[in-house]
Structure 1
Amino acid sequence: MQWYQEEIRQLEAKPVVQSGLQKVIFYGSSTFTRWPNLEQCFPQVQALNLGFGGSTLAACAWFFKRVVPQHQPNMVMVYAGDNDLGDGRTPEEVVLFYEHLLASIRAMLGNIPVCFVSIKLSFARLHLRGSIEYANSCVSRLVSLQGPPLYYLDLYYPMFDERGNLHPAFFEPDGLHLSPAGYTLWQQKISAQLDHMLQHQQPLS
Structure 2
Amino acid sequence: MKAIMGKKILKISLAVFFLLQLANSANAQPFANDIAAFKKQDSIAFPPKNAILFVGSSSFTKWKDVQNYFPGYPIINRGFGGSVLNDVIRYEKDIIFPYQPKQIVIYCGENDVASSDTVSGKIVLERFKKLYTDIRQQFPTTSIVFISLKPCPSRWQMKDRMMDANKRIKKYLKKKKNTRFVSVWKAMLDAEGKPIADIFIEDRLHMNAKGYAIWQKILEPYLKK
> In structure 2, what residue type is equivalent to 1:56?
V
User: Percent identity of the aligned residues?
Assistant: 24
Q: Cα offset for 1:145?
A: 2.2
Query: Matched residues in 1 for 2:206 and 2:48: separation?
Result: 31
SS of the residue 1:145 aligns to: coil
> In structure 2, what residue type is equivalent to 1:151?
R
- For 1:1-205, list aligned pairs within 5 A: 2-15=29-42, 16-18=46-48, 22-88=50-116, 89-146=119-176, 148-194=177-223, 197-198=224-225
SS of the residue 2:41 aligns to: coil
The superposition leaves residues 67-123 of structure 1 with CA deviations (integer Å, 9 ceiling, x where unpaired) of: 221111111000011100001122111111111111111122222111110001111
**Which moves more between the two structures, 48-57 or 183-192?**
183-192
Query: Matched residues in 2 for 1:114 and 1:30: separation?
Result: 19
TM score, norm. by length of structure 1:
0.88
SS of the residue 1:69 aligns to: coil
TM score, norm. by length of structure 2:
0.81
Q: Cα offset for 1:156?
A: 0.8
Check whether the contact 1:65–1:104 (CA below 8 A) recurs between aligned residues. no
Cα RMSD of the aligned pairs, angstroms, is: 1.5
Query: Matched residues in 2 for 1:36 and 1:17: separation?
Result: 16
Unmatched tracts of structure 2, length 5 or more:
1-27
The structure that has the greater radius of gyration is: 2
Number of residues of Structure 1 aligned to a counterpart in Structure 2:
193
Check whether the contact 1:171–1:182 (CA below 8 A) recurs between aligned residues. yes
Check whether the contact 1:31–1:79 (CA below 8 A) recurs between aligned residues. yes
The superposition leaves residues 140-195 of structure 1 with CA deviations (integer Å, 9 ceiling, x where unpaired) of: 0011122x31110000111012232211111112111101110111122111221x
Check whether the contact 1:40–1:47 (CA below 8 A) recurs between aligned residues. no
Q: Cα offset for 1:43?
A: 2.1
> In structure 2, what residue type is equivalent to 1:109?
F
